[in-house]
Amino acid sequence: MLKVVVRRLLVMPFLLLGIVTATFLLAQFTKGNPLVSIIGARNLDNAEVVAAAKARWGLDRSVPERYAIYVWNLAHGDLGTSFRTKQPVLKDLAQRLPATLELVICAMIVGAAGGIALAIVSAEFKNSLADHVARLVALMGSCLPVFWLGLIALFLFSVQTRLLPGPGRLDIRAVAPPVTTGFMLVDTLLAGNVAGFIDAARHLVLPSLVLGWSVMGIVARMVRASMLDVLGQDYITMARAKGAGRLRVLVHHALANALIPALTILGFTFAYLITGSVLVETIFSWPGIGSYAVEAARSLDYPAITGVTIIGGLGFLVANLLTDVAYAAADPRMREAT
């Protein structure tokens, strides 16, 4: 297994370079003028201002030159400077990433726990009313668009009933705690602000449920299929014949083995949500990587677009590696194969 990990780590920089190259070229040949976000539309007719801006941001160089400079800087940990914020992209991403990770982790907990619960009910009571209801809930989570779910959730629970707060990470009248980790729940606790922690937790509920429902549908369908296969195995029949209770058979014998195939989808789903939560972050005004990517795309902020893509690509590569390690740790047959 160590050889596999080392081999993956050696290949990872080349895969990341391919992602960077494809993203850089696509961004460069996209129609639009990034100078609009740099100097404003009013100054586009001023030749001196345009020339100075192109020289300042390297837009007067050829595409191969810009690519070589970018890769060289990237190798030294420099993702460039954002056209829009005028800050280093790495700094922007470091400020935005904790908000996205906090949302994604909560959504994954909701999705994984809910999906596994639905799968257990559906598999144990196959073809019953409970099975049909569980499959319908999972299907809705997979099919309904998250932007529609987000808008409906805001309308019902924030506007109509006012059970939960609206967009943002904190109430607009609340004072944000000192930034220590970037995770609002953690920072409020470190600051001893219990009211702020409760407020941050309440703001997390709606976006986590909306984003987690899509994960729930994927997990439920995959684990259900695995559970049905496992429940038909001889060792399950033997466990029941020995007098093992229903709950012990389901959780200890069946679920433990049915979860192994789900590790792959959980790993990739987590990596996808880091940059794939664009719509949810936009609807709930969540200051994360997704909303940053939308703002960068609107202003043709090439360094920011490429930086977000690098984070997403790196997330997928690391998730793939960790998933393989977890799969091998959970399944002895995989350890023998590697």
d(CA 254, CA 28): 52
Residue 101 is predicted with a pLDDT of 92
Helices (H) then strands (E): counts for the chain? 16, 0
User: What percent of the chain lies above the pLDDT cut of 70?
Assistant: 96
Neighbour-count burial of 173, counting CB atoms closer than 10 A to its CB (0-12 exposed, 13-18 middle, 19+ buried): exposed
d(CA 85, CA 147): 27
pLDDT of residue 284: 92
- The pLDDT tens digits of the residues spanning 165-223 come to 989 899 888 888 998 899 999 999 999 999 999 999 999 999 999 999 988 888 888 88
- Listed by start position, the domains of the chain span 2-75, 91-337
Report how far residue 57's alpha carbon sits from residue 40's, in angstroms, rounded to the nearest whole number.
15
Confidence of residue 94 (pLDDT cuts 50, 70, 90): very high
User: What phi-psi label fits residue 197: left (phi over 0), alpha (psi between -120 and 50 degrees) or beta?
Assistant: alpha
Q: What is the pLDDT of residues 8-27, one digit of tens each?
A: 788 888 888 898 888 888 87
CATH of span 91-337 = 1.10.3720.10
For residue 242, what pLDDT band results from cuts at 50, 70 and 90?
confident
Burial class (CB in 10 A: 0-12, 13-18, 19+), 293: buried
Average pLDDT score over the chain: 85
Residues 28-57 have a mean pLDDT of: 79
- Average pLDDT, stretch 136-145? 87
- Dist. CA 127–CA 132, nearest whole Å: 7
Residue 335 in this model has a pLDDT that exceeds 80: no
Mean pLDDT of 30-36: 74
Residue 264, pLDDT > 80, answer: no
Tokens of 314: 């790196």
Q: What's the pTM value of the predicted model, to 2 decimals?
A: 0.85
152 or 46: which carries more pLDDT confidence?
A: 152
- Across-strand partners of 293? none
Q: Considering only residues 331 and 108, tell me which one the structure prediction assigns the higher pLDDT.
A: 108
Does the pLDDT at position 333 exceed 70? no
* Rounded Cα distance, 27 and 83, in Å: 13
